[in-house]
Amino acid sequence: MKKFHFWHDFIPLVTGFDINIFLIRKYLAYFALLAGWIWFCYWLFTHGIWPMLNSPKPEVIPVRMDSLELPLAFAWGSDIPLAGKGFDTWKEQFNKMDSTSSIVIWKGHYFKDEAVTPADQVELGLSRVKKVLSFLNLDRKRILIQSLPQEINADVKSNPFSAVGFEKYSEEEILSFTGDTAQVCFPIADSLLLPEIILEKLDHWTAGQSGKNEKEMFLIGTADGTGIAESSDVAVERAEMIKARWHKAGWNEESIQLTTGQRNNSYTLQNRCVVIYFEHDAKQ
């Protein structure tokens, strides 16, 4: 008995046409190719095109606000910088700054009601400065950041306000040398922070004094006595900090003598210092 074949017997029986097996295979190949192409397009759309079209746009800072009277401001509880009138002039001053000798102390301000915890408040001030620094081309080794509270004196919850400021110093104001005597000053009150570039240059100077490591060395830590005076403990901690660096560099800890004092210069930076000198200088 002859076997029944689907393509040779059933299709011609139903359609009344005799179909060439070669054409059948050809059309099946076309359909398979089309199905594969449709699947590939679907995969490309779902895994590539659609996610790309719906991905979040990168944050552009600062946000421009032409109606804002301040060159740089912030909204209540936000760390996103807002650029207003005069922003380009404000930014240009940093392009003109001497990048080889300037030290910049940045201050990020916050209001105590802007965040729940004191730690979050401090972090908000720091974050505001960091966002500003992200669009300024400044050497991070020449920068210090501090976070400070400020008092509410206007409708700051509804209107943008100034919350970032800075102070600029020359490198020589912070670190100076006279022969084999050095003085390093601390730009931020009640702190032990120094810019990285200053520490590097102080360590370099220390290495150059290796021939004196058998002599007695003196460190005088000073605190600012003007206005709201710094604690004498800060003067001790500053001297201890420098002593620790010298000891790490190989100096005999017992040969390093610490004393402290208080200064009352009108230029307060010169009151927050550590003076370093050697035995023969002390005898003069």
Half-sphere exposure of 38 toward its Cβ, with a 13 Å CA cutoff? 6
**Better-scored residue on pLDDT, 87 or 255:** 87
Q: Is 237 exposed, middle or buried (0-12, 13-18, 19+ CB in 10 A)?
A: middle
pTM here? 0.75
Among candidate residues 29, 185, 18, 195, the one with its CA nearest the CA of residue 101: 195
Under CATH, what is the fold of the domain 63-171? 60s Ribosomal Protein L30; Chain: A; (3.30.1330)
Per-residue model confidence (pLDDT) at position 58: 54
Domain 63-171 and domain 179-283, same fold? Reply is yes
The model's pLDDT over 209-264, given as tens digits with 9 standing for 90+, comes to 877 766 788 999 999 999 989 999 999 999 999 999 988 888 888 888 999 999 99
Residue 281 has pLDDT above 50, yes or no: no
Mean residue pLDDT of the chain comes to: 85
CA distance 230 to 233: 8
The model's pLDDT over 15-54, given as tens digits with 9 standing for 90+, comes to 544 555 666 676 677 777 777 778 877 777 777 766 666 6
Per-residue model confidence (pLDDT) at position 42: 75
Instruction: Report domain extents, the chain.
Output: 6-54, 63-171, 179-283
Q: Give the SS3 label for residue 35.
A: helix
The model's pLDDT over 144-184, given as tens digits with 9 standing for 90+, comes to 999 999 988 878 999 999 999 999 999 999 999 998 899 99
Half-sphere exposure of 127 toward its Cβ, with a 13 Å CA cutoff? 13
| % of the chain surpassing 70 pLDDT | 83
Residue 13 has pLDDT above 50, yes or no: no
Cα dihedral across residues 167, 169, 173, 177: positive or negative: positive
Q: Which amino acid is at 122?
A: V
Mean per-residue pLDDT for 76-105?
A: 92
**Better-scored residue on pLDDT, 98 or 176:** 176
Contact, 62 vs 135, CB < 8 A? yes
CA distance 228 to 226: 6
pLDDT band at 99 (very low <50, low <70, confident <90, very high): confident
Residue 284 has pLDDT above 50, yes or no: no
Q: How many CB atoms sit inside 10 A of residue 74's CB?
A: 26
Per-residue model confidence (pLDDT) at position 191: 93
Query: Parallel, antiparallel, or unpaired: how do β-strands 273-278 and 256-263 relate?
Result: unpaired
Per-residue model confidence (pLDDT) at position 59: 59
The CATH architecture one would assign to domain 179-283 is: 2-Layer Sandwich (3.30)
CA distance 120 to 67: 30
Residue 139 has pLDDT above 60, yes or no: yes
